[in-house]
């Protein structure tokens, strides 16, 4: 079978319904997103509008079947001392795991971030998640520590391992 061509590009407003559906999958079936309520397109619009230029980017991967995944860089903390640190996130359609798409998405994001005033990318991975841990290591992140049982979702305590990657 011939692999389908995949394009990676900045997200557009028309992607918002597919991005919401992807987020809702992770909210409903995993602990990767700590949000407990399903999202709506209208409710997610202000989140979407926070991306575009500068340090805060939202990229999608797609083929002719539709959206395959997304990655984004967000403000880490709301104080100027953290302006050159971004928090990265990546989510793939379940059928796309293990095919190298996550590494391609992250590579595209980091290529853009290297042109911006970004010093460090950080990422928190809800545990257990060996596949995401491996992806972050493969993409040059270094593990820096784990917050143990610091969140609770559906009656389960969640730990997160944090990673960092120099960008500048």
pTM for this structure? 0.94
Task: Provide mean pLDDT across the span 120-130.
Answer: 97
Task: Provide mean pLDDT across the span 78-102.
Answer: 95
SS3 content of the chain, % helix, strand, coil (to 5): 30, 35, 35
3-class DSSP assignment, residue 48: helix
* Model pLDDT for residues 43-56, shown as the tens digit of each residue: 999 999 999 989 99
Q: For 23, left (φ over 0), alpha (ψ -120 to 50), or beta? A: alpha
Residue 83: closest CA among 119, 122, 134, 48: 119
* Model pLDDT for residues 131-150, shown as the tens digit of each residue: 999 999 999 999 999 999 99
94: pLDDT strictly greater than 50: yes
């Amino acid at each position: 079978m011939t692999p389908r061509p995949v394009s990676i590009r900045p997200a557009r407003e028309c992607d918002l319904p597919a991005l919401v559906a992807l987020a809702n999958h992770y909210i409903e079936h995993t602990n990767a997103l700590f949000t407990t309520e399903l999202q709506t397109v209208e409710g997610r619009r202000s989140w979407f509008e926070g991306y575009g230029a500068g340090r805060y980017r939202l990229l999608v991967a797609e083929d002719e079947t539709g959206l395959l995944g997304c990655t984004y860089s967000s403000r880490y903390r709301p104080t100027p001392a953290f302006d050159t640190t971004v928090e990265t996130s990546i989510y793939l359609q379940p059928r796309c795991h293990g095919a190298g798409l996550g590494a391609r998405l992250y590579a595209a994001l980091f290529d853009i971030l290297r042109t911006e005033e970004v010093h460090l990318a950080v990422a928190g991975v809800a545990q257990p998640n060996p596949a995401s841990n491996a992806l972050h290591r493969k993409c040059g992140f270094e593990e820096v520590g784990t917050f143990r049982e610091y969140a609770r979702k559906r009656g389960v305590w969640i730990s997160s391992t944090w990673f960092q990657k120099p960008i500048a």
